[in-house]
Amino acid sequence: MNASPELEKVVPQAEDFLPLLGTDHIELYCGNAKQSAHYYMTAWGFQPVAFAGLETGVKDRVSYVLRQDKITLVLTTSLVPDGPINEHVNKHGDGVKNVALWVDDAEKSWKETTSRGAVSVFEPKVLEDERGRVVLSAIETYGETVHVFVERKDYSGDFLPGYKAWNPAFRAPEVGLKFVDHMVGNVGWGEMNTWVDFYARVMGFAQLISFDDKDISTEYTALMSKVMSNGNGRIKFPINEPAEGRKKSQIEEYIDFYQGAGVQHIAVATDNIIETVTALRDRGVEFLQVPATYYDTVLDRVGTIDEDLEPLKELGILIDRDDEGYLLQLFTKPVVDRPTMFFEIIQRKGAKSFGKGNFKALFEAIEREQENRGTL
């Protein structure tokens, strides 16, 4: 069974009345789940776990479950012409619908959050099969995104009741991804503090870091961001909003194409970013490129690092340092058709921060992409 760990509190100001144990899974609504699953298996090294669809008695949708270490993706497509999945894909393109959070008690989590003002998506419900029982409940967050609370301490199955094991012949080697480090939400003008307050008041999170338009700006564009974390630090949700700039920021571009607030990127951790990024690049994943001049002065800024600079430069990996260590990070180009969702690969070597020293170089790289798209 999935016994619940006792997790140390690392963010003392977080009330943490739920408490959250980690990210359970991330469900994306897609135009074509079968082909999306093939992409995440082939390019990203995710392994097939389970599926639900016609063969399991589900008539209106099909879902493929993929996993790499502690990261579980669920890719879902509608089997019928109308309905909420198609509406979501028509409006937003492929994107994250459900950010599912692993909890000890899904009923308590639902009561705690709804009593503090969260809007319920569905009340606690029990799913059962021969492997045990799972309790699910759900609340709304920004845009049309949903938090599902998953209680699985009495379940020994691979994913959830209603899913069958999926064992295709094809499996690609993993690329070294470990867990979800953080997930970033983009919200509209003036909405950041509303959602910061939501995570504090409704879910017991605390603010770790705040960035304003002086921290995150280039010649043309700016944004503001606050990072919210639960008490054990397993769940970190930076919230971005646009700020006034001379041209259209990446957040505005996202809001335009996603048609509202949503998950901008999923940051996934690795223990060896050089090996991970090399494998991803060799399988066709495209990354943002900063100018080669970034590496002329980066060690003056971050000091001594364990890695040789040359492979980092060759792959375009960015480096930043805080009081507790340093981090290595790199961002993909959008992984869907619209310029919306992307991934970040991050390796932390002590650092607890989010790469503030790289913001300017990174956003200038994004602006070059926006210029190519004609959306700057």
The reported pLDDT for the residue numbered 5 is 63
Q: Residue 14: pLDDT band by 50, 70, 90 thresholds?
A: confident
Q: How much is the average pLDDT of 305-318?
A: 96
Q: How much is the average pLDDT of 185-191?
A: 95
Q: Give me the phi and psi of 159, to 5 degrees please.
A: -140, -85
The reported pLDDT for the residue numbered 170 is 94
**In this structure, how many other beta carbons lie within 10 angstroms of the beta carbon of residue 333?**
15
Q: Residues 223, 369: contact at Cβ < 8 Å?
A: no
- pLDDT, tens digit, 9 for 90 and up, residues 16-62: 778 899 999 999 999 999 999 999 999 999 999 999 999 999 999 99
What's the CA gap between 341 and 17, in Å, rounded? 30
Longest CA–CA span in the chain (Å) reads 60
Q: Which residue has the higher pLDDT, 92 or 233?
A: 92
Give CA torsion, residues 239, 245, 250, 251, to 10 deg.
Answer: 30
Q: Residue 150: pLDDT band by 50, 70, 90 thresholds?
A: very high
% of the chain with per-residue pLDDT over 70: 96
Work out the mean pLDDT of the chain and round it to a whole number. Answer: 92
The reported pLDDT for the residue numbered 211 is 65
Q: Residues 319, 302: contact at Cβ < 8 Å?
A: yes
Instruction: State the Cα angle at 154 between 152 and 159, rounded to 5°.
Output: 45
The reported pLDDT for the residue numbered 7 is 72
Q: Residues 243, 217: contact at Cβ < 8 Å?
A: yes
Q: How much is the average pLDDT of 133-156?
A: 98
Q: How much is the average pLDDT of 147-153?
A: 97
Tell me, what amino acid is at 154?
A: D
- pLDDT, tens digit, 9 for 90 and up, residues 194-216: 999 999 999 999 998 676 666 76
The reported pLDDT for the residue numbered 4 is 60
Q: Residue 161: pLDDT band by 50, 70, 90 thresholds?
A: very high
Q: Residue 2: pLDDT band by 50, 70, 90 thresholds?
A: low
Q: Residues 279, 174: contact at Cβ < 8 Å?
A: no
Q: How much is the average pLDDT of 100-114?
A: 96
Q: Residues 148, 160: contact at Cβ < 8 Å?
A: no
The reported pLDDT for the residue numbered 10 is 80
Domains in the chain, please, with CATH? 20-165 (3.10.180.10), 177-373 (3.10.180.10)
Which residues are paired to 321 by β-bridges? Answer: 326
Contacts of 268 (CB under 8 A, 6+ apart): 71, 177, 178, 179, 180, 181, 343, 344, 345, 346
- Going by their DSSP bridges, the two strands 95-103 and 146-151 should be labelled as parallel
Measured in whole angstroms, the distance separating CA 135 from the mean position of its chain's CA atoms is 23
The reported pLDDT for the residue numbered 292 is 86
